[in-house]
Amino acid sequence: MQIDLSSKHALVTGAASGIGARIAELYAECGAHVAVHARTRAKAESTVEAIKATGGKAFSVEADLMDSEAIEEMCQAAISGLGGIDIVMNNAGTYTPQAVVESDAELWRKTMAINLEAPRLITQITTNAMIEQGTGGRQLYTSSVSAIMAEVNGSAYCASKAGLNSLARCLAVEVGKHGITVNTINPGWVDTPMARKAFEDMLEEGMSLDQLIEESMSANTLGLVIKPKDIAAMAAFLASDYGRCITGQDINVCAGISLLSFGDE
């Protein structure tokens, strides 16, 4: 099976590193022209350069996802630069652990702004563009198994991702008639820079970061550490014609951790 995204125009948010970078690279490998988003163009350029180095087509767009005007400008720049829009991968997100009883209002607002409100606005702008094109499309989201599981110190993150999954399901029933599919991918712990930063706070004396990540991230039914490429593979499948009959779904790519309990740390 070969995934063909040639002639497709894709926007990937949060694509400077980790999951977003690998999705953008794989989309380009499959033939898509990709708009690579990061908070600043400078941060996006490493992904753009990696894509161009292998013969792919890409350019950078920038926006602070807590700034609605910047988001609108970014979306318009992406659509204009691409010459249309067929695939939107809302991947950008933020995670800061904090207990409910100690929760900070500003942290809650920031988490909701980046993980839920920004995707809503990006979705609104790009979906209208897809409808106007009249050629269908794909709206995709990097969510998390945290959307469906309880997590110690994860209330803001879990709530934002649960909201994202709900938004996607509602959108799916609204835009199916336009040939637009809508799905979320729920990763478990993935070995990314953001995850590594979170694990740094959990380090105990005598343990290396790599050792902690290996032991913690492989605590799933398959005993595997999930890599960005594993999430990118699902994102490419759903973006392609192979995913044309899949919509309104929350797809767990979590090595089976959704079958377990996070429990107490």
Any idea which residue has 């400008």 for tokens? 73
Characterise 104 by phi-psi region: left (phi > 0), alpha (psi -120 to 50), beta (else). beta
Element (H, E) at 100: none
Q: Are 126 and 139 in contact (CB under 8 A)?
A: yes
Q: Which of 27, 95, 157, 242 is catalytic?
A: 157
* Of 138, 220, 151, the residue nearest 181 (C-alpha): 138
Distance CA 23, CA 131 (A): 24
157 counts as catalytic: yes
β-sheet with 57-62: strand ranges across: 57-62, 33-38, 9-12, 87-90, 137-142, 180-187, 249-253
Q: Which residues are catalytic?
A: 157
